[in-house]
Chains A and B, each alone.
Chain A
Amino acid sequence: MHMADALLSPAVGLTMGAVSAGAMALSVSRINKDDLSDKKVPLMAVSGAFVFAAQMINFTIPATGSSGHIGGGMLLAALLGGYPSFLTLSVVLIIQALFFADGGLLALGCNIFNMGLIPCLLVYPLVFRPLLKRGVSYKSLTLASILSVVSGLQLGSLGVVLETAASGVTELPLNAFLLVMQPIHLAIGLVEGIITAAILGFVHRMRPDLVEAAQSVPSTPKVTFKKVLALLAVLTVLTGGILSLYASKNPDGLEWSIEKVAGTSELSAENPLHESAAFIQDRTALMPDYDYTSENSSTIPGTSLAGLIGGGLTFLLAGVTGLVLSRIKKKKPQFTRLRENQY
C-alpha cells in the first residue's frame, strides 16, 4: 500500500506532507506533556523495530497456498495508544522510505496519512476504544480488532485511490480503481484483523496489564465526530482545489484527443506553404522526417523520430559521462592510499 513518488503530482504530495507534518507536531506536543514521556521513548522505538520484524514474518493462509505479512498499525495503536503509535509508525515509514526505497520522499506525507494517521488517530479512538469501553475480554478484543483493522485498511486504500486520482498520473478511472482496491483490502483486512485479534488475545493472556493499561490511559486523543467532520471538510476543500487546478490545466481524455485531431488536421493544411522550403531541408537535414510545425501543435512533446533519436543520444551521453567519471574516480584512490601508507 506504499505510494510511490512517481504516482503523485507535486501539489498532492506537498499538501499531504503538510497535513502529516502537522499531525506529527501535534502528537509530539501531546506526548511531551505526558510525565512518562521519557519512559515511552524506548518502548516506542523498540515497537517500531518490532513492526519491521513482524512484517518480515510470512504466514501461510491454509488451503490457498499463498502467504502474506501483517502491517501492524492497529496492533501498535492498541498497545501504545493513539499519539505514540502514530509517531512510531511515522518513523517506521520514514525509515522505509529512506533505507528500503519503500515509498518515497515526496510520497511520505501520503503514506504517513494513509497508514499512520488513519488507523492511529481516526480508527483507534473512534472504533477500537469504544468497543472496549465495557472491559477487555477475549470477545470484545476480537471484535474490536477485526472491525478496526478492516475499517483502517478500507479508509487507507481509499486514501491511496483518491490521492492517485487527484494527481492524475495514471489513466485508471476512479470507479475501476476503487473496485480493484477496496475488495482486495477487505480480504487483507479480514486476515490481518484475525491475526491482530489472536496476537492481542495472546498478549492479554500473558500480560493482561499491557492491554488494559493502554485502554485506561485518559490521554489518548479525544476525537469527536465534530472534529472528524471538520477534518474531512478541510480535506475535501483541499482535494477539490487540487482537482480543479489539475482539471483546468490538463484537458481530459476526450478533449485531449479532439485537440490532437484538430492539431493534425491543421498541420496538413499548413504543409503546402512550407513545401518548397521543406523540400530543400528534407534533402539536407540529418533527420528528414522531422517537422517543426507538427512538433508545436502536438500535445505529446518529443513524439517524433528526431525526438526519439535525440532522447536516445542524451541517454547514451549520460551513461558515458557516468562511466568516464567513475573510471577517473577509480584511478584516483590508489594515489591517496599510497600516500596514506607512506605516513
Chain B
Amino acid sequence: MAVRDTPIHRLHPLIKLLASLGFILIVVSFGRYSLIPMIPMVFCPTVVMALSETPYGLLLKRCALALPFCLLAGISNLVLDTGTALTLGSLSISTGLFSFLTLLFKAYLSVITVLLLVATTPIHVISEAMQRLKIPSLMITLFEMTYRYLGTLLEEASAMALAYGLRSRQQKGIELRHMGSFVGQLLLRSFDRAERIYQAMKLRGYPAAHLSPTERKVSSRDILYLVLVLGSSLIFRALDITGAVNIIERLLP
C-alpha cells in the first residue's frame, strides 16, 4: 500500500513528516471543550486519504485498536465533570460529555494522521528521511533491521506457540509455569540468529559506509502541501466555526 503513485505518495518524506507533526500539535493544542471548533480539522486527513487512495475501512480498523486507552482515561470526564453545557429542550448535555468527545476526536485525528503518513511512505523512504535529518546511522540501521526481523520472529514465535498448543491439553495461551522456558527458548533462538546475521553481514563487508540517499530536492509542490496543511489547520484553530455560522446568519436578511 505504501508503494503507490499518487500525489501524496510523491511528496517529499520530510515535508510529510513535518506536516503530520505540525497537524498533530495543532490538534492537541485545542482546548478541552472545543469539540465544535475542532470539527473543520477533519478536512485535512479526509482529503489526504482520498488523494492517496487509502481505504477508509482499514484505517478505521487500525484506529479502533488505538482508542481503548483514551476511552478509559476519558470516562472520568463523563462522571466527574457534570456542569451543563447546553440544553436542547428538555435534554441537557453535560460539559463532561463535551470534553469526553473532544478527547476521542483528538485521538481519532492524531491516530489517523500517523496512519496516513505510514500508509503513504515506504519504510526505505522513511529511513532516507531519517538520514537526511542527521539521525545517527546506528539508529537507522537498528530501525531498518528491527522492522526486517519483526515478521521473521513473529513467525517463529507463532510456530512455537502452535507446537505448544498441539502438545498441551489447553489451547489458549501458555501456562504461566512454562513461560520461562518458552520465552527463554525463543530468546536463545533469536540470539543465535543474531550471531548468524552478524557473520553474514561481516562477510558482505559490514560496516561499510552507508549508501547516501538519492538527492531529492524539496519542490514547490511539497512547499504548497506543507503550507496548505499547516495554514488551513492554523486558520481552523484561530477561527471558530460557530463564528462563521454567525456571520452567515448576519448576512441573511
Contacts and interface: CB of A to CB of B under 8 A. Distances in A.
Top 3 A-B residue pairs of the complex, sorted by shortest distance between their CB atoms: A302-B36, A198-B180, A45-B145
Contact of A285 (B27, B173, B240, B252): B252
B163 to A, nearest CB: 13
Interface stretch (A115-123, A124-132, A166-174, A228-236): A166-174
Contact of A52 (B81, B142, B154): B154
A56 B226 CA distance: 38
Interface in A145-180: 164, 168-173, 176-177
Interface string B3-45: 0001000000000000011001101110111111101101100
A242 B59 CA distance: 34
A303 B86 CA distance: 6
Interface of B: 6, 20-21, 24-25, 27-29, 31-37, 39-40, 42-43, 46-47, 49-51, 53, 56, 62-63, 65-66, 69-70, 73-74, 76-77, 80-81, 83, 85-86, 88, 93, 95-96, 98-99, 103-104, 106-107, 110-111, 113-115, 117-118, 126, 136, 138-139, 141-143, 145-150, 152-154, 156-158, 161, 170, 172-177, 179-188, 190-191, 193-195, 197-198, 201, 206-207, 240-246, 248-249, 252-253
A75 B184 CA distance: 10
B85 A300 contact: yes
Contact of A300 (B95, B183, B241): B95
Given A45-B142, A302-B34, A286 B249 contact: yes
B32 to A, nearest CB: 6
Interface in A246-302: 250, 253, 257, 260, 284-287, 290, 292, 295, 299-302
A284 B252 CA distance: 8
Contacts of A24: 139
Interface string A191-207: 10011011111110011
Given A171-B76, A292-B246, A303 B36 contact: yes
Contacts of A105: 20-21, 24, 110, 113-114
Nearest to A66: B173
B245 A307 contact: yes
Instruction: Determine the interface band of chain A, counting residues with CB < 8 A from chain B.
Output: 35 or more
Nearest to A198: B180
B72 to A, nearest CB: 9
Given A203-B187, A321-B46, A325-B50, A45 B146 contact: yes
Given A170-B103, A304-B242, A322-B49, A54 B39 contact: no
Given A49-B149, A307-B241, A37 B66 contact: no
Given A43-B191, A46-B193, A91 B114 contact: no
B198 to A, nearest CB: 5
Contacts of B118: 98-99
Contacts of A241: none
Interface of A: 2-10, 13-14, 24-25, 28, 31-32, 37-39, 41-50, 52-54, 56-62, 67, 70, 75, 79, 87-88, 91-92, 94-95, 97-102, 104-106, 164, 168-173, 176-177, 191, 194-195, 197-203, 206-207, 210, 250, 253, 257, 260, 284-287, 290, 292, 295, 299-311, 314-315, 318-319, 321-326, 329-330
A307 B36 contact: yes
Contacts of B191: 43, 46-47, 207, 210
A310 B139 CA distance: 47
B103 A7 contact: yes
B110 A42 contact: no
Contacts of B36: 301-303, 307-308, 310-311
A95 B146 CA distance: 9
B39 A301 contact: no
A286 B201 CA distance: 71
Given A53-B156, A318-B40, 18 more contacts: A6-B103, A24-B139, A48-B146, A52-B154, A53-B153, A54-B183, A56-B158, A60-B170, A101-B62, A101-B115, A105-B24, A199-B184, A201-B180, A207-B191, A290-B246, A301-B37, A311-B36, A314-B40
Nearest to A62: B176
B145 A171 contact: no
Contacts of B185: 202
Contacts of B107: 4-6
A205 B18 CA distance: 49
A60 B114 contact: no
A228 to B, nearest CB: 25
Contacts of A286: 248-249, 252
A257 B184 contact: no
Contacts of B106: 5-6, 169
A88 B198 CA distance: 16
B97 to A, nearest CB: 11
